[in-house]
Structure 1
Amino acid sequence: MKTIKTPILPINKTIVKTQGKHELDLEAICLFIAFGFFFDTDTYWRDEVVLSPGTTNQLDEKDTLIASKKWFDWHYSPREISFQQTLHEFTNLFETIVKEQTTNKNVILPISGGLDSRTQAAALRNHPNVKSYSYEYEHGYQETKIAKKIAATCHFPFQSFKVPKGYLWHCIEDLAEINQCYSEFTHPRQMAFFDSFRDMGDVFSLGHMGDLMFDSFGLPQLSFDEEADVLIKLLLKKGGFELANDLWQSWNLEGSFEAYFVLRLRELLKEIKIDNTNAKLRAFKTNYFVSRWSSNNLAVFEALHTVTLPYYDNRMFEFICTIPEEHLSNRQLQIAYIKQNAPDLAKITWQEQRPFNLNNYHLNKVPYNLPYRVANKTKRVYNDFCGKPYVSRNWELQFVGKENDVHLKHWLFESKLKDLIPLHIIQQFYDNFKEKDRIKYSHPVSMMLTLALFQEKFNNF
Structure 2
Amino acid sequence: MPTLRTPIIPQKPTFAKIRAPHELDKEAICVFVATGFFLDMDTYFKDLKVLPPASDCELDADGFFVKSTPWFQWHQTPRELTFEEALKEFAQLFESIIDEQVGDKKVILPLSGGLDSRTQAAALTHLGKHVNTYSYDFKGGYPETAIAKKIAKVCDFDFTEYHIDKGYLWDCVEDLAAINQCYSEFTHPRQMAIFDEYAAMGDVFSLGHWGDVLFDGTGSAQLSDEEQLNYLLKKIIKKGGMELATSLWKVWQLDGDFETYLRKRVTTLVQKIDIEDTGAKIRAFKSLYWAPRWTATNLAVFEAKRPIRLPYFEDRMCQFICTLPEAYLADRKLQIAYIKHRNPELAKITWEQHKPFNLYTFQQNKSPHNLPYRAFNKLKREAKNRLGKTYIQRNWELQFLGMENDEKLQDYLFSENMHPFISKPLLAKFYNNFKNIDAVIYSHPLSMLLTLAVWKRRI
> 1 CA distance for matches of 2:196 and 2:2?
37
| 1:238 CA drift (Å) | 3.8
Instruction: Say yes or no: does 1:221 pair with 2:212.
Output: no
Instruction: Report 1:22-171 matches (<5 A).
Output: 22-125=22-125, 126-171=127-172
The amino acid of 2:455's aligned partner reads F
> 2 CA distance for matches of 1:388 and 1:116?
32
> 2 CA distance for matches of 1:285 and 1:277?
12
The amino acid of 1:45's aligned partner reads F
SS of the aligned residue for 2:58 comes to strand
2:455 aligns with 454
SS of the aligned residue for 2:240 comes to helix
> 2 CA distance for matches of 1:255 and 1:349?
50
> 2 CA distance for matches of 1:36 and 1:128?
36
SS of the aligned residue for 1:158 comes to strand
1:234-290 Cα deviation digits (max 9, x unpaired): 111241111111111111111111111111010011111100001000100111111
1:40-74 Cα deviation digits (max 9, x unpaired): 00000000100000000111233211221111111
Count residues in correspondence. Answer: 458
The amino acid of 2:100's aligned partner reads E
CA contact (8 A) 2:107 2:129 kept: no
The amino acid of 2:371's aligned partner reads L
> 2 CA distance for matches of 1:350 and 1:128?
24
SS of the aligned residue for 1:124 comes to helix
> 1 CA distance for matches of 2:298 and 2:439?
24
Moved over 3 A (4+): none
Instruction: Report 1:26-425 matches (<5 A).
Output: 26-125=26-125, 126-425=127-426
CA contact (8 A) 1:221 1:277 kept: yes
CA contact (8 A) 1:415 1:456 kept: no
Instruction: Say yes or no: does 1:429 pair with 2:427.
Output: no
CA contact (8 A) 2:215 2:330 kept: yes
> 1 CA distance for matches of 2:451 and 2:29?
11
SS of the aligned residue for 2:77 comes to coil
| 1:419 CA drift (Å) | 2.9
CA contact (8 A) 1:415 1:452 kept: no
The amino acid of 1:157's aligned partner reads D
CA contact (8 A) 1:55 1:68 kept: yes
CA contact (8 A) 1:183 1:450 kept: yes
Ranges in structure 1 where 5+ consecutive residues have no aligned partner: none
1:12 aligns with 12
The amino acid of 1:111's aligned partner reads L
The amino acid of 2:30's aligned partner reads C
1:11-52 Cα deviation digits (max 9, x unpaired): 000111001111100110011111111110000000010000
1:60-113 Cα deviation digits (max 9, x unpaired): 233211221111111111111211111111111001101111111111000001
| 1:368 CA drift (Å) | 2.1
| 1:127 CA drift (Å) | 2.8
The amino acid of 2:210's aligned partner reads M
1:307-329 Cα deviation digits (max 9, x unpaired): 00000000000000010111000
| 1:415 CA drift (Å) | 5.0
The amino acid of 2:315's aligned partner reads N
CA contact (8 A) 2:55 2:70 kept: yes
CA contact (8 A) 1:205 1:308 kept: yes
Identity of aligned residues (%): 53
The amino acid of 2:148's aligned partner reads A
The amino acid of 1:59's aligned partner reads L
| 1:372 CA drift (Å) | 1.5
1:342-393 Cα deviation digits (max 9, x unpaired): 1110111111111111111112222222222221111110001111121111
CA contact (8 A) 2:59 2:65 kept: yes
> 2 CA distance for matches of 1:227 and 1:85?
31
> 2 CA distance for matches of 1:196 and 1:259?
46
Ranges in structure 2 where 5+ consecutive residues have no aligned partner: none
